[in-house]
């Protein structure tokens, strides 16, 4: 009953507190800028509430670290202000100064982070002193059962309590109480909200336990043997009546994540094509044509998703030659024109690839598409090289903002890029997508200004 009240009222109180925070910060921002409240402010506050509900920010689970709570808060703030920034590119929502916006962002971020960390701390203390407790039963006096008992007993802030372990065979261990055979659990199950069953328990006994728990409204948790497997992401699903554990499913395999990524690609590429490439292509085209004969755009076959090929667009930076697909250029290549050298150093030669993004061949963020000949050189040498082609290639990526850009010189250079590309896919989040995007812009501007 207490647990039920907590699950009902805590999320509501959490949402109300965060509503108060964003409302107060928004009102303060309008006060210092003498601006009027508009419908956009109400939409932004509503969007923030939806972000909280979608991300289940109020669900500060047992065993969740403070670092995860911090990342979750920053991720939510990042998503909010990124969406506002993207929408503001098309609609003139605000006329505030950079100073007032930055100050409001800082105050809002500090307020949300402080609030969530404080709530996390209060919940930990509350559970440690006996509040919001789950009384559980542990079945199986083996390695998994003992490790689970020791874990919850040494971490009282989890709010999980157990009197000992049930097991059909008597095992004497001073540090862990033996509560008797499994039949004793059936007699003493009153007040138990969850039962944790070792996967090594006899199948027939396990089935009886699950049926008993179902009849008595007790949640069942299995303690599996997953120690010998090293993987970050695993998901349990069901194929008709067969349970399946997927050990290498990635975040972008989920349709809603890939849909968001594609929406982001379309919005940004459309904006760049409309407001930047619309004048950049004819202007750069004239300069390119004046310096050497040939087309404005250089196209080359590259590997895309699933190692399919597509035509990748770039501004032509070299004179026409027969070795463009055999000899890979660097910034000092003699085939470069004077303007072409500027394009390569500044990375502006990659701008036409926003056309590839809009056409669906590439994404804004992802592994860089290398020339096919280069891929063939390293595909057999580097373990799991093909994993980088699991999703669309990108204009920029985690490897590029980490310092790996330009000509690939050796095995270590390529292996490091592949490692970062795979890390990106394994750990993809909306926050990581925006982080790479804005760091790329910042580094590009800083490099070109210097």
**CA 428 – CA 394 distance, rounded (Å):** 14
Mean pLDDT value across residues 281-291: 93
Question: Which tokens belong to 16?
Answer: 């109300």
Q: Is residue 281 part of a domain?
A: yes
pLDDT at residue 201 is higher than 60 = yes
- Let me know whether 148 and 207 are in one domain: yes
**% of the chain with per-residue pLDDT over 90:** 26
In this structure, are 26 and 150 located in the same domain?
A: no
- At residue 274, the pLDDT reads 92
Both tokens of 376, joined, read 């063939």
What pLDDT sits at residue 279?
Answer: 95
Q: Do 197 and 163 lie in a common domain?
A: yes
Q: Is residue 243 part of a domain?
A: no
Separation between Cα atoms, residue 430 and residue 388, nearest integer Å: 19
Is the predicted pLDDT of residue 276 greater than 90, yes or no?
yes
Residue 91: its pLDDT value, please?
A: 64
- The answer on 87 and 10 residing in a single domain is yes
* Mean pLDDT confidence for 361-375: 91
Answer yes or no: is pLDDT of 314 > 90: yes
Q: Around Cβ 16, how many Cβ atoms within 10 Å?
A: 11
Residue finishing a domain among 99, 128, 157: 128
The reported pLDDT for the residue numbered 325 is 66
Average pLDDT over residues 132-155: 88
Tell me, yes or no, whether 246 lies in a domain: no
For tokens 């990375």, the residue is 347
Whether 241 is covered by a domain: the verdict is no
Q: Residues 381-427: pLDDT tens digits?
A: 888 888 888 899 999 999 999 888 777 778 888 889 999 999 999 88
Identify whether residues 282 and 423 lie together within a single domain: yes
CATH number for the domain harbouring residue 189 = 3.40.50.720
Enumerate the H helices of 155-250 as residue ranges.
Answer: 182-187, 203-215
Cα–Cα nearest to 23, from 53, 59, 48: 48
As given in the structure block, the two tokens for residue 424 are 């990106």
pLDDT at res. 95: 56
Most confident of 22-36, 92-106, 246-260, 303-317: 303-317
pLDDT at 92: 62
CA angle, 117 then 118 then 119, to 5°? 90
User: Based on the domain organization, do 118 and 147 belong to the same domain?
Assistant: no
pLDDT at 335: 87
Which of 192-196, 232-236, 344-348, 363-367 reaches the highest mean pLDDT? 363-367
Answer yes or no: is 245 within a domain: no
Q: What's the rounded Cα separation, in Å, for the pair 109 and 90?
A: 25
Distance CA 313, CA 203 (A): 59
- More confident: 39 or 14: 14
Percent over 70 (pLDDT), the chain = 87
Whether residues 276 and 390 fall in one domain: yes
DSSP string, 328-390: ---TT-TTB-HHHHHHHHHTGGGTTHHHHHHHTS-EEES----BHHHHHHHTTTSTTGGGGGS
Average pLDDT, the chain: 84
Query: What value does the mean pLDDT take over residues 4-10?
Result: 69
Asked if 142 and 120 sit in the same domain, the reply is: no
Domain boundary residue among 112, 128, 144? 128
pLDDT of 5 above 70: no
Out of 11-15, 40-44, 278-282, 418-422, which region has the weakest mean confidence (pLDDT)?
40-44
What is the pLDDT, as a whole number, of residue 172?
Answer: 74
Whether 282 maps to a domain, the answer reads yes
Per-residue pLDDT band for 265 (boundaries 50, 70, 90) equals: very high
Please report whether residue 233 resides in a domain.
no
Task: Say what the pTM is.
Answer: 0.60
| 155 lies in the same domain as 204 | yes
Q: 312 with 285: CB under 8 angstroms?
A: no
Q: Which whole number is the average pLDDT over 290-303? A: 91
Are 271 and 386 found together in one domain? yes
Q: pLDDT grade, residue 1 (50/70/90)?
A: very low
Contact 185, 167 (CB under 8 A): no
CA distances from 214 to 1, 186, 351 (A): 18, 12, 59
pLDDT confidence of residue 247: 65
| 152-160: average pLDDT | 89
The secondary element (H helix, E strand) that includes residue 17 is helix 2-33
pLDDT score, position 445: 83
Give the residue from 85, 100, 128 where a domain finishes: 128
**Cα Rg of the chain (Å, integer):** 28
Higher-confidence residue of 262 and 102: namely: 262
Lowest mean pLDDT among 38-47, 190-199, 214-223, 242-251: 242-251
Range among 5-9, 33-37, 66-70 rated most confident: 66-70
Q: Are both 395 and 279 inside the same structural domain?
A: yes
Q: Give the count of domains, the chain.
A: 3
322 with 176, same domain? Answer: no
Is residue 290 pLDDT above 80, yes or no? Answer: yes
What is the rounded CA–CA span in Å between residue 448 and residue 342? 10
For residue 138, give its domain range. 134-227
């Amino acid at each position: 009953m207490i647990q039920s009240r907590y699950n009902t009222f805590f999320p509501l109180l959490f949402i109300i507190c965060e509503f108060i925070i964003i409302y107060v910060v928004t009102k303060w921002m309008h006060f210092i800028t003498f601006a009027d409240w508009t419908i956009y402010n109400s939409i932004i506050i509503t969007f923030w509430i939806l972000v909280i509900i979608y991300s289940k920010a109020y669900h500060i689970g047992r065993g969740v670290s403070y670092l995860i709570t911090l990342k979750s808060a920053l991720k939510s703030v990042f998503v909010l202000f990124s969406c506002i920034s993207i929408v503001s590119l098309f609609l003139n929502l605000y006329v505030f100064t950079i100073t007032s916006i930055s100050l409001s962002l800082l105050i809002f971020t500090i307020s949300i982070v402080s609030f969530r960390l404080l709530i996390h701390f209060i919940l930990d203390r509350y559970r440690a002193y006996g509040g919001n407790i789950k009384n559980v039963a542990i079945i199986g006096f083996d390695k998994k059962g003992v490790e689970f008992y020791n874990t919850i007993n040494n971490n009282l802030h989890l709010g999980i309590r157990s009197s000992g372990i049930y097991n059909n065979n008597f095992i004497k261990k001073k540090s862990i109480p033996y509560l008797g055979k499994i039949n004793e659990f059936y007699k003493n199950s009153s007040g138990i909200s969850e039962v944790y069953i070792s996967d090594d328990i006899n199948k027939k006994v396990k089935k009886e336990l699950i049926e008993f728990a179902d009849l008595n409204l007790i949640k069942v948790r299995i303690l599996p043997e997953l120690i010998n497997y090293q993987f970050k992401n695993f998901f349990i699903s069901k194929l008709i009546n067969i349970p399946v554990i997927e050990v290498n499913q990635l975040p972008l395999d989920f349709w809603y994540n890939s849909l968001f990524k594609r929406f982001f690609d379309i919005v940004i590429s459309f904006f760049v094509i409309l407001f930047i490439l619309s004048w950049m292509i004819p202007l750069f085209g004239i300069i390119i044509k004046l310096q050497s004969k040939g087309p404005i755009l250089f196209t080359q076959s590259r590997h895309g998703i699933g190692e399919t090929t597509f035509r990748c667009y770039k501004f032509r930076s070299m004179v026409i030659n027969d070795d463009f697909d055999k000899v890979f250029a660097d910034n000092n290549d003699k085939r470069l024109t004077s303007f072409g050298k500027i394009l390569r150093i500044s990375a502006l030669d990659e701008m036409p690839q926003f056309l590839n993004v809009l056409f669906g061949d590439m994404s804004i963020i992802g592994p860089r598409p290398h020339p096919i000949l280069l891929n063939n050189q390293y595909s057999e040498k580097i373990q799991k090289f093909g994993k980088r082609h699991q999703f669309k290639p990108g204009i920029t990526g985690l490897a590029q903002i980490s310092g790996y850009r330009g000509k690939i010189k050796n095995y270590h250079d390529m292996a490091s890029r592949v490692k970062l590309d795979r890390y990106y896919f394994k750990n993809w989040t909306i926050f990581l997508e925006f982080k790479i995007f804005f760091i790329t812009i910042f580094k590009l501007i800083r490099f070109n200004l210097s």
